[in-house]
Amino acid sequence: MQAKHIIQIDDLSRNDIEEIFSLAEYYLQLNKNEVVQKYRLDSFTQINVFFENSTRTLASFELAGKKLGGIVQDIQIATSSIQKGETLIDTALTLNAMRPDLLVVRHSSSGAANLLSEKVKCSVLNAGDGSHEHPTQALLDFLTIKHRKKKKEGLIIAICGDISHSRVARSNIALLSKFNNQVRLIGPSNLLSASFREMGLETYNRMEDGVRGADVIMMLRLQKERMKGGFIPSRREYFNRFGLDNQKLSLAKSDAIVMHPGPMNRGVEIDGIIADDLNRSVIQEQVEIGVALRMAVLHLLVDRKG
Ligand code: NCD
């Protein structure tokens, strides 16, 4: 793999992505205990520095690093106790002095992971920076799609919800478009900025129109922590218009899959019955594939140094 840092999807070439996917497939089987031979990297040190709350992403990175045999240290810093700018640079210099091989960073400010990568010697992996990007989430989403759909091009993928504030949406748009898929964005106009249309993407304010004929429906949470003021009228009205229920799902292809990066708000963006329907929902599979995908990315970044 060419990339030293993974801050955004565009840091990766198609070849890099193929390499990550084939190693992730191997780790996926290994994690299911279907491969006898184990592969461990030489000792490496990974620091997960999370300035923003996280459950699954932090656990996934921690598990991935430990399964590879790394020394993994979590540092969780409450957003309230940290100031932007110089404090972040100070933190970067402190972490750099601990000589890690990898820093996995989550921060509420877009651009924070990039700033850190300019100040440290080791590889930096962006685990979500503000509304900007969350590249490993998009990679695990795409690998899940590939598993279920048995292809990765020519699919219609509808991303629905709070697109404007979503780093998951931005990374997915970049990745899915790289592989010639048709991406449709669905949401209320105040959560779907005009810039997406200007980028040439299809946008829909009526969910029924956006999900029609889709192969994949990706639901997103309302990111209240990034909203200033009232963006939605009421949860009930939001669910009626943009929540995924059986009636709206019936408009997609009959074998359409439903995805969600979590955390999920049942009854707000998705009906709990759909989320639990294992014929449709691949939400648990996303989590499982996520560990293998992160093992592959960590492995390739660590190996690259050698
Ligand atoms: C997402 C995130 O933090 O960006 N979750 C995740 O990483 N699994 C989406 C969200 O917070 O809604």
Which residues, including other chains, have CB under 8 Å from residue 81's CB and lie 6 or more apart? Answer: none
The pLDDT of residue 35: 61
Residue 36 confidence (pLDDT): 57
- Percent of the chain past pLDDT 90, that is, above it, reads 77
For ligand 1, whether the C-beta of 57 sits within 6 Å is yes
**Structure token pair of residue 45:** 């040190």
Rounded distance between C-alpha atoms, residue 57 and residue 287, angstroms: 9
The second-level CATH assignment, the architecture, of 136-282 is 3-Layer(aba) Sandwich (3.40)
* CATH of 9-134+287-305 among 2.40.50.140, 3.40.50.1370, 3.30.365.10, 3.40.50.2020: 3.40.50.1370
Calculate mean pLDDT across residues 201-212.
97
Q: Domain extents for the chain? A: 9-134+287-305, 136-282
Element holding 295 (H helix, E strand): helix 283-305
pTM metric for this prediction: 0.94
Reply yes or no on whether the pLDDT at 167 is more than 50.
yes
Beta-carbon-side half-sphere exposure of residue 60 (alpha carbons within 13 Å):
24
Task: Provide the angle, in degrees to the nearest 10, between the axes of the packed helices 14-31 and 167-178.
Answer: 110
Looking at the predicted structure, is the pLDDT value of residue 215 above 90? yes
Does the C-beta of 294 come closer than 6 Å to ligand 1?
Answer: no
pLDDT at 107: 93
Describe the strand order of the beta sheet including 102-107 as a list of residue ranges.
71-76, 45-50, 102-107, 123-129
Give mean pLDDT, residues 89-98.
89
pLDDT tens digits, 36-76: 566 667 789 999 999 988 889 999 999 999 999 999 999 88
Number of neighbours of residue 235 by Cβ within 10 angstroms: 14
Q: Which atom of ligand 1 is nearest to the CA of 134?
A: 4
pLDDT greater than 50 at residue 154: yes
Q: Please tell me the distance from the alpha carbon of residue 1 to that of residue 23, in angstroms, as a whole number.
A: 12
Cβ of 167 less than 6 Å from ligand 1: yes
CA of 119 to the centre of ligand 1 (A): 26
Distance separating alpha carbons of residues 207 and 176, to the nearest angstrom: 20
**Is 128 touching ligand 1 by the criterion CB < 6 Å?**
yes
Determine the distance separating the centroid of ligand 1 and the alpha carbon of 83, expressed in angstroms: 22
| pLDDT tens digits for range 111-148 | 999 999 999 999 999 999 999 999 999 999 999 999 99
Helix axes 135-149, 283-305, angle to 10 degrees: 120
As a whole number, the mean pLDDT across the chain is 92
Residue with tokens 């909203």: 227
Higher pLDDT, 88 or 99: 99
Among the listed residues 11, 28, 82, the one whose alpha carbon sits nearest the alpha carbon of residue 50: 82
- pLDDT tens column, 241-285: 999 999 999 999 999 999 999 999 999 999 999 999 999 999 999
Q: What is the Å distance from ligand 1's center to 37 Cα?
A: 33
Residue 124, Cβ neighbours under 10 Å: how many?
25
**Mean of pLDDT values over 74-85:** 67
* Pairwise CA distance, residues 208 & 186, whole Å: 9
Q: What is the pLDDT confidence band of residue 91, given thresholds at 50, 70 and 90?
A: confident
- Position with higher pLDDT, 224 vs 174: 174
**pLDDT score, position 281:** 98
CB 140 within 8 A of CB 289: yes
Q: Does the beta carbon of 130 sit less than 6 angstroms from any atom of ligand 1?
A: no
Helix (H, G, I), strand (E, B) or coil at 208: helix
End-to-end CA distance of the chain: 12
CA distances from 249 to 50, 153, 232, 243, 280 (A): 35, 22, 22, 10, 10
For residue 252, the model assigns a pLDDT of 98
Kindly report which listed range (64-73, 76-85, 222-231) carries the lowest average pLDDT score.
76-85
